[in-house]
Structure 1
């Protein structure tokens, strides 16, 4: 095994010291630091054209990717493996007045000694065994491992029967502009250098899946992620006559109750289940205080998939919205009847019925009803809306739905279901293709090899359980699934666009071998040194060598 521990540890500390919070200038700073570092390696001083720093494409922020490649001399193969990881981190607001220590691992650990901590955390506050700090786990130790391997193979190209590509991408923690831009570079190298991409190895973090979990995980493929969103149009009324209208918050509450944590919406494949959906936002759309009920409400959910396509997910979610709407009307009617019995007022019945439409269904109704007037009007609205820089993709999509709703002639209470953010495709390594079969075998053999020298269990699973840039190197969805994304995202083509066909053509099977630790995205984020800085580089090296060998 390579003696990687101290080198990777020092690189990790160096990277953590760079404040590279997503959507800040720090993303540019760390990219230029990495570019300078890699350019200083003797191999790249001799071959300066083989390391590049490139600005992201179609991005409102100025930030960069760093890519490099080593051409192996062991044989004449064009087989190419990719090692990848993201440079950005989440913010440090959770550190409050101590945020400067988030980027100073040694000083932060000394300071934590003086604070009240859970026993389990205090037991891990041991220099040489664990490293604390923002990005130490997610995922600068992964980048450090990849840098170590890039330098190693640049010094030993005779051990590569093919080529190795290194990617350090930005913006993983938000919109994945980094990896989506890097696809253009990978495509260019494929055409210019005849690279045959056979595998990609991501180095994102792994963590215990349950309390007391002893396993270190390697993942084949990755979970997919959607952001199903619901615009709820109610029937406005004065609070003095509450039963004459239908509060959209009332429907939204039933919707969240029906979908949130619902195990029926856990997707299963290969015996592995996704986590259930969780609401990420619930709000009404009133902008000021009035004594009228709201006209509309907005809810969106995190939604993971293993085998369902975005089209299937829409069908399932529409069913759930139907159930929630029915429950809202039934309970509303029951409460209205009970109120009338209490007061002696006449019960007049309710005029509303369950009504759920996808955005695509509403759009087709409006195109049929209004033709070019609607189409041209919406195009102008979406263009003008781009000038509002305060709107992210999710709020932009909502504003488009609200505007389209104004064109509806039948404005009875309705739920409109749509997607309002980036779709992270699921990737399933079925082993059906030669590349997938070879990578699966390489992973199994490498894990068995390393396991014999490592005391903790290393377990291989089929789906990386967190969203990551792995999703953009291959595509398991058919065209109908991607069409459901396009037709049901109101921001598509204006505020948001992804060339999923480019991903399909790239078709690189991807796995994750990453650092092990706990509390990613939290104040006590920490990475275990032995596994992350000794096992991970050596395990990754074995997989690289096995997938490149003929």
Structure 2
């Protein structure tokens, strides 16, 4: 193992801090021109600091137009075995900072300005806690500093140290865009790893994702290494009603009211919650809208709802089964309530008496019906729904709506499916490479924690949605169920037919802090710059030092 002298540790900490501040000062909001320019800028900075032959730096474009860039850097030691260090460089927007938006990416200036603001107006528990954190000097704010440029900075500092001290093995550093939206960067980089491994004669035996961890307590939960990650699905309900003039509401059935019933039933529903590992995260509504393009006095003909559902061991098929059941229960309950209420009004035209149930069907049934009866209309509906400026869930809504009109079917009804890119859960397998990585993580957390006088824990799963889902050992078997019920899967998701995940054993080791994605986003400085680079370097060295003769998994292969 390498020497852990005081001077050497200070050098690595200073490098991590300098990289973190420099990257934070460079805006990279998802989908912006700044995000597109960040990759070439980072590539140039890395090439300047880590010169050939010690390191090789290059970029590769991300679809659809290649303007956004993944940044790769290979630092060679000896042999073929390689550990991947990866993370994303895009951030959420800065508009929520209000009058401080102009300095949202200037950590030192923002710290002083936030303190002045909090001195004047802190009232909520989160604001009071942020005020105390910033006053202590232990935390530093800035959009993207915590999520997740400090993690990238730790990875770069480790690569620099490896260039000086590393012997056996290699480090491949890859920074990607777009994690905050659809993970286009990771989904481009994951299959690219196979080409990189072939071209550079590498054997990728493990990976460390560098994403941030939120901890509102004393940091004991934030100082952790996660041995897997949760997955995410976006179940959707496209609701078709019976529109009518608002002056005669009993003559129709309001699609938005049926959707509201589904929302009320599905929010925090235990039936959609995966309790198999760690604290359970209940489902929550992310999208709710009707299908109208403007205001009029006709009740909504359609409505659309989408829910965030996290999974650890549950399959997408079981989630959609449970969601269908909740939709049935919700709309049946609303029908019963409306029938009872209808008795309290004067007689008039009514539709509720002729509606005995609201069928719940899958998107796959709707798509198969239209495709088999009128393939031309199916293709036209898909083309009409493909609006590149729209989000994936909105394009999925538009396609479902157009196929419903093309089907000739009549409402009321609920069409369920999925509305975005699936994030698959990952777990370390029983492969030799995965065992080596887990052993290295377990040992490093103890040794490095003792060295720095802190406790660092190993947790079974990372509780945040992350690019680990595409780099790690995810099971792509359930994708058939997802693909059949995701509108525009082949056109808009673009999942490779062979393997969309890299299949590399992966863990998460990142910085910790509080309130990311809010103006109070702030980073615990000591852990991010002093402890984390030491922890990552120790994990990498231990992976290379153990099991030299054990075979590992080729990139993309099943364990």
Q: TM-score under structure 1 normalisation?
A: 0.91
Please point out which of 196, 206, 210 is paired with 1:203.
210
1:259 and 1:213 map into 2 onto residues whose CA distance is: 32
Runs of 4+ in 1 over 4 A off after TM superposition: 210-213, 344-348
1:357 and 2:361 aligned: yes
Q: How does 1:6-45 map to 2 (within 5 A)?
A: 6-41=14-49, 44-45=51-52
Q: CA-to-partner distance for each residue in 1:412-469, whole Å, 9 max, x for gaps?
A: 311101111111111122x422222221111111111122233443222111111111
Does the residue aligned with 1:304 lie in a helix, a strand or coil?
strand
Q: Which residue number corresponds to residue 452 of structure 1?
A: 450
1:40 and 1:410 map into 2 onto residues whose CA distance is: 63
1:408 and 1:467 map into 2 onto residues whose CA distance is: 36
Q: CA-to-partner distance for each residue in 1:478-528, whole Å, 9 max, x for gaps?
A: 53x101121111121222212264235x31011110011001011011101
2:349 and 2:233 map into 1 onto residues whose CA distance is: 46
Unaligned runs of 5+ in 2: 549-559
Q: Which residue number corresponds to residue 64 of structure 1?
A: 69
From the superposition, tell whether residues 211 and 352 of structure 1 become closer, same or farther in structure 2 (CA, over 3 Å).
Answer: farther
1:335 and 1:384 map into 2 onto residues whose CA distance is: 40
Q: How does 1:171-250 map to 2 (within 5 A)?
A: 171-208=178-215, 211=217, 214-215=220-221, 216-250=223-257
> What is the CA distance between 1:262 and its match in structure 2?
1.6
Is the contact made by 2:385 and 2:402 (CA closer than 8 Å) also made in structure 1? no
Please point out which of 241, 256, 281 is paired with 2:287.
281
> What is the CA distance between 1:125 and its match in structure 2?
1.3
> What is the CA distance between 1:68 and its match in structure 2?
0.9
Please point out which of 297, 305, 326 is paired with 1:291.
297
2:149 and 2:423 map into 1 onto residues whose CA distance is: 22
1:145 and 2:154 aligned: yes
> What is the CA distance between 1:126 and its match in structure 2?
4.4
> What is the CA distance between 1:146 and its match in structure 2?
0.8
Query: Please, which moves more after superposition, 272-281 or 442-451?
Result: 272-281
Q: Which residue number corresponds to residue 556 of structure 2?
A: none
Query: Please, which moves more after superposition, 413-422 or 190-199?
Result: 190-199
Q: Which residue number corresponds to residue 494 of structure 1?
A: 491
Q: Which residue number corresponds to residue 382 of structure 2?
A: 382
2:227 and 2:455 map into 1 onto residues whose CA distance is: 17
Query: Please, which moves more after superposition, 186-195 or 524-533?
Result: 186-195
Does the residue aligned with 1:268 lie in a helix, a strand or coil?
coil
> What is the CA distance between 1:365 and its match in structure 2?
3.2
Q: Which residue number corresponds to residue 110 of structure 1?
A: 112
> What is the CA distance between 1:273 and its match in structure 2?
4.1
Does the residue aligned with 1:100 lie in a helix, a strand or coil?
helix
Q: CA-to-partner distance for each residue in 1:328-352, whole Å, 9 max, x for gaps?
A: 111111111233xxx3669883324
Unaligned runs of 5+ in 1: none
Query: Please, which moves more after superposition, 435-444 or 292-301?
Result: 435-444
From the superposition, tell whether residues 71 and 59 of structure 1 become closer, same or farther in structure 2 (CA, over 3 Å).
Answer: same
Aligned length: 529
From the superposition, tell whether residues 382 and 367 of structure 1 become closer, same or farther in structure 2 (CA, over 3 Å).
Answer: closer
1:46 and 2:53 aligned: yes
From the superposition, tell whether residues 304 and 84 of structure 1 become closer, same or farther in structure 2 (CA, over 3 Å).
Answer: same
Is the contact made by 2:271 and 2:322 (CA closer than 8 Å) also made in structure 1? no
Q: Which residue number corresponds to residue 155 of structure 1?
A: 164
From the superposition, tell whether residues 184 and 503 of structure 1 become closer, same or farther in structure 2 (CA, over 3 Å).
Answer: closer
Is the contact made by 1:383 and 1:494 (CA closer than 8 Å) also made in structure 2? no
Q: How does 1:88-127 map to 2 (within 5 A)?
A: 88-116=90-118, 117=122, 118-126=127-135
Please point out which of 318, 322, 339 is paired with 1:316.
322
Q: CA-to-partner distance for each residue in 1:49-81, whole Å, 9 max, x for gaps?
A: x2102221x2257211110112213xx3x2211
